[in-house]
Each structure stands twice: as C-alpha cells, then as structure tokens.
Amino acid sequence: MKITTISTSLLFTLVILLSGCVSPKFTGSAIPENILTAKPQVLVINDAETRDGFQHAVEGWLDSEEIRYVVEPEGVEHDPQQLTIEYVGYWSWDLALFLSRAEIEAFYQGQRVSKITYNAPSTLHTAKFGDADERIKLMLDVMFANKSLQEATDKL
C-alpha cells in the first residue's frame, strides 16, 4: 500500500514538473505586404538598456537582406515615411545566460504595423538555451514575411 502511494505521488509530481516544460515560441504578425513592397528605408532605434548583441543581430540581418537602414538612439523623432523598428530583449540566468523574452515592433506612418514576440519560459525545457542571435534573426524573418510563425518556431 505504501509503495503504491509513493509511486502515485512520484508520478503526480513528475506530471506537474513536465507540464511546466513549455517550449520557446514566437507570436505576432508580419509587416503588411504593401509596406514591404514599397521598400521604405528602415530606422532602427537602438535600445540602450538591451545587450549590444541584439542590435548587432538586427543590423546583421538587415545587411544580409540588403535592406537600407539607419540607426538612431532612443528619443530621436521618428520620420513617418521610414519603417521604424524598436526592440527590447531580456536575458535570464538558469545554469546559463539565455534570451528569455524579446519584442520587436515596426511602425510606419504613425501606426504600429507589426509586433513579434519571443518567449522562452524559465522551465525545465532545454530549448531555451539556444543562440540568441539566431532567435532575433528568426523574429525578423517573421516580421519581414520570410518565414511563418510556425516555421520560425520549428527552428527552435
């Protein structure tokens, strides 16, 4: 009787722990096609509080896609004719440093036209420890309609 109770308790605990193993994922929507086909210059707002690697990943992706852009510090006035990109990234520590949450937003003509979010919950799931640079690039792939949310999430 005691063995059955202990086994049931262990099984219940295991189910609770494993149910918390939520995989990292992306959410959001791409920039509308009519804006992408217009190919406006991109204004990237450098978030001073986010690690420099985020900015480098954004610039590297824009360079690889041959998209014209300029980088300005926070607080600069937005030109409504430019596609403005703002981002924020948060890193967490769980045996190693990892990108736990990130948001990239795009604005055009005074309106938010896209927002992509990445979330890697602090659970037992080891997929949260992936390369932050690649995750940021996947976010931009979704934002610029190079990949679907599912395609990007499948790459994690």
CATH number at residue 87: 3.30.160
Q: Is residue 50 part of a domain?
A: yes
The predicted pLDDT at position 98 comes to 77
- State both tokens at 60: 């590297």
Start-to-end C-alpha separation, the chain: 44
H/E run at residue 115: strand 111-119
The predicted pLDDT at position 19 comes to 41
Answer for the pair 120, 24: CB distance below 8 angstroms, yes or no: yes
Q: Is residue 2 part of a domain?
A: no
Q: How many domains does the chain have?
A: 1
> What are the Cα distances from residue 28, in Å, to 6, 68, 111, 115?
44, 23, 16, 5
The predicted pLDDT at position 16 comes to 43
The predicted pLDDT at position 3 comes to 60
Q: Is residue 14 part of a domain?
A: no
User: If you search the block for the tokens 């979330």, which residue do you land on?
Assistant: 119
Q: Is residue 40 part of a domain?
A: yes
The domain in which residue 137 lies consists of: 22-154
Measured CA to CA, the distance from residue 107 to residue 85 in angstroms comes to 7
The predicted pLDDT at position 23 comes to 78
Per-residue confidence in pLDDT tens, the chain, 156 aa? 556 555 555 544 444 444 445 678 999 999 999 999 999 999 999 999 998 999 999 999 999 999 999 999 999 888 899 999 999 999 787 776 778 899 999 999 999 999 999 988 765 555 566 778 899 999 999 999 999 999 999 998
Q: Is residue 55 part of a domain?
A: yes
Measured CA to CA, the distance from residue 136 to residue 56 in angstroms comes to 10
Beta strands in 55-110 (DSSP E): 69-73, 83-93, 97-108
Q: Is residue 142 part of a domain?
A: yes
Q: Is residue 17 part of a domain?
A: no
Burial 32-54 (b: 16+ CB within 10 A, else e): eeebbeeebebbbbbbeeeeeeb
Answer for the pair 23, 63: CB distance below 8 angstroms, yes or no: no
